[in-house]
Chain A
Amino acid sequence: NAGVTQTPKFQVLKTGQSMTLQCAQDMNHNSMYWYRQDPGMGLRLIYYSASEGTTDKGEVPNGYNVSRLNKREFSLRLESAAPSQTSVYFCATSGTEVNRNQPQHFGDGTRLSIL
């Protein structure tokens, strides 16, 4: 049982390059989230998807786009990477049809450096 799987685990990009971070879950959860974690800032929500086919902006959406491909997969795209986007990115999932007031489950993160 893999839970929440993020790929890649590490990535180095040059300013202006694009890339997509992938997240897949096998927990049958409805909601999926993308966060970034920076020292002293805690977890900040980038985008959120309540269910397949829906997405919503979080606290820091600028410079990012997302796609909820199906119930299992939620991807985060950086179209033109900037050094300010150097961070650790976490995907999380939560909520079933029966109970949506549940804790989130996290992947192990993608460590992204933009030079």
Chain B
Amino acid sequence: EDQVTQSPEALRLQEGESSSLNCSYTVSGLRGLFWYRQDPGKGPEFLFTLYSAGEEKEKERLKATLTKKESFLHITAPKPEDSATYLCAVLPYSGTYKYIFGTGTRLKVLA
């Protein structure tokens, strides 16, 4: 069964304290892996797409990487405005285009 697991469930960081969020996945084949940011009261906002192992994408303080079994979202020198829930989703090879989401990591960055 296709599955996505995110860890940790919650993370508190001091401003400037770098860390990584993990997204482990089990799928028969991967069309793509996607990272989203979700702020309270809002819909998920797209951050990155990764298609193949070894691929990396970077935007400001965020960097996403992909292996054959997991993806990491690295946050370098975070700021309080990076506080949000980060969601990971995979699009597996199947007869349909149904995305599978993890339950997210709630990140809180303290000033």
Instruction: List the interface of chain A (C-beta within 8 A of B).
Output: 4, 31, 33, 40-43, 45, 48, 50, 56, 58, 90, 92, 94-95, 100-109
Contact = CB atoms under 8 A, between A and B. Distances in A.
Interface string B83-95: 0000101010000
Interface residues of B, number: 23
A53 to B, nearest CB: 15
Interface in B59-111: 87, 89, 91, 96-99, 101-104
A42 B43 contact: no
* Closest CB pairs A-B (n = 3): A106-B43, A42-B103, A43-B101
A41 B103 contact: yes
A73 to B, nearest CB: 17
Contacts of A104: 34, 44, 46, 89, 99
